[in-house]
Amino acid sequence: MSHPSTLHPETDVLTRGFDPSLSVGSARPAVFRSSTYVFSSPEAAERAFDIMGGRAQRGEGENVDLVYSRFNHPNAQILEDQILALEPGATGALVFNSGMAAIMTALLAVLQPGDSLIYTVPIYGGTQTLVQGFLQPFGIKGVAVPGGNAHALDDAIRSTPNLKVIIVETPANPTIVMTDVRGVCAAAKRHPEKPIVMVDNTFLGPAFQNAIALGADLAMYSATKYLGGFSDIIGGVVLTKDAALLNKIRSKRSLFGNILQPDECWILNTRLPTVHLRMNRQSKNAQRVAERLAGHPRIAKVYYPTLFDDAEQIRIYREQCHHPGGLVSFAMRGGKAAAFDFLRHIQLARNAVSLGGVETLACHPRSTTHSAWSAKDLDEAGIGEGLVRISFGIEDWEDLLADFVRALDLVA
């Protein structure tokens, strides 16, 4: 059946990627837990291995036999086809058993000793450790540049030799600083090495920020967060419009064995049709509460896109994002003691790291997610002693606001 190509993501995700006739007519996909697949003929087996080994190209519309579930399996295929609907411009996707597995595999597919990569900071702690603690000893140089500083990024891109990859994480966690993806892509195109631009799109994508449409070569996700949406699954995804890049990453995934397992693929599949619904509600909750907390006497500053005061940050937000999203940070007066008091007194939100779930979570980044940083780096990045980060869920926003105000008023 041909598929209209002009559908909106919310429709497309419900109507593509799954053929009930391949699952005995079941309206939902079956879970295929086989580790190995029976070939339709010895010739078909030979053909499947030739294609897998890169000795032959799959023909247009050609059905290739499945081989072995470390390489590929039906639930991964269904998920990878369906998730394309959510990232406009992407033509291929790969699913992994965590966000870190997705990031690691993408990097190891394209980097060699002697290469350099640039990454924006603050960046997810795991990504930073991967670059500094793992890739660096293998002879791959990592250059950290403050996200949101366009001049510093341009300078670093121009002056870094053997530059093969630029990783952008925007907005940055937990200070919500935004980096101009289009600007980074333009600078990358001027570099003789044509470095690959990878965007960690976990915080605002896929509903509110579309990295491929902004020009990135690769969009990366921790599916553990908004895509999964219920704090009950660990997974990762990469999406691209570059078929050669996709094949390189796929062959490394086959080698490393970090494909997402069939049951997890099936679960993640069930979450895709509601990601826009959930993220819209989470963003509305966050915006309503953030804007009301901004004047509270115990709060020195609220970090949220609709409360930005820097003209360049406002411009990037308006041009790059559809909505402000479900993450809010605020700096409390009274430092760590006040922040801890607040976390002790909240009753609806839970004190936990992670984000993107339907339940509201709150944490103190300086003593948890960012505790490995030096005091100097924390201070420079604006991650102060009084900073609290909230990931909004889908509860009623007035209940959340009342709970937060009550907790703020109880702070000693």
* Residues within the interface to ligand PLP (CB under 6 A): 98-100, 124, 126, 169, 200, 202, 222, 224-225, 234, 236
Q: Smallest distance, Å, CB 307 to ligand PLP?
A: 21
Q: Smallest distance, Å, CB 412 to ligand PLP?
A: 32
Provide the 10 A C-beta neighbour count for residue 21: 7
What is the spatial distance between Cα 106 and Cα 223, in angstroms, rounded to a whole number? 15
State whether the Cα torsion 207-209-212-213 is positive or negative: positive
For ligand PLP, give the closer residue by CB, 90 or 327: 327
Q: Smallest distance, Å, CB 327 to ligand PLP?
A: 10
For ligand PLP, give the closer residue by CB, 169 or 217: 169
For ligand PLP, give the closer residue by CB, 148 or 298: 148
Q: What angle do CA 99, 368, 309 make, to 5 degrees?
A: 85
Q: Smallest distance, Å, CB 370 to ligand PLP?
A: 12
For ligand PLP, give the closer residue by CB, 150 or 234: 234
- Is the distance from CB of 346 to CB of 407 less than 8 angstroms? yes
What is the spatial distance between Cα 130 and Cα 109, in angstroms, rounded to a whole number? 14
User: In this structure, what DSSP letter does residue 229 have?
Assistant: -
For ligand PLP, give the closer residue by CB, 69 or 201: 201
User: 301 has which bridge partners?
Assistant: 331
Q: Smallest distance, Å, CB 236 to ligand PLP?
A: 5
Position with the least CB separation from ligand PLP: 99
Q: Smallest distance, Å, CB 121 to ligand PLP?
A: 13
Would you state the structure tokens that stand for residue 229, as one six-digit string? 């949406």
- Is the distance from CB of 235 to CB of 228 less than 8 angstroms? yes
For ligand PLP, give the closer residue by CB, 225 or 323: 225
For ligand PLP, give the closer residue by CB, 67 or 279: 279
Ranges of beta strands (E only) in 161-292 are: 163-169, 196-200, 218-222, 236-240
- Is the distance from CB of 79 to CB of 268 less than 8 angstroms? yes
Q: Smallest distance, Å, CB 101 to ligand PLP?
A: 7
Q: Residues near 189 by Cβ (< 8 Å), separated by ≥ 6?
A: none
Q: Which of 390, 370, 372 is nearest to 382 (CA)?
A: 370
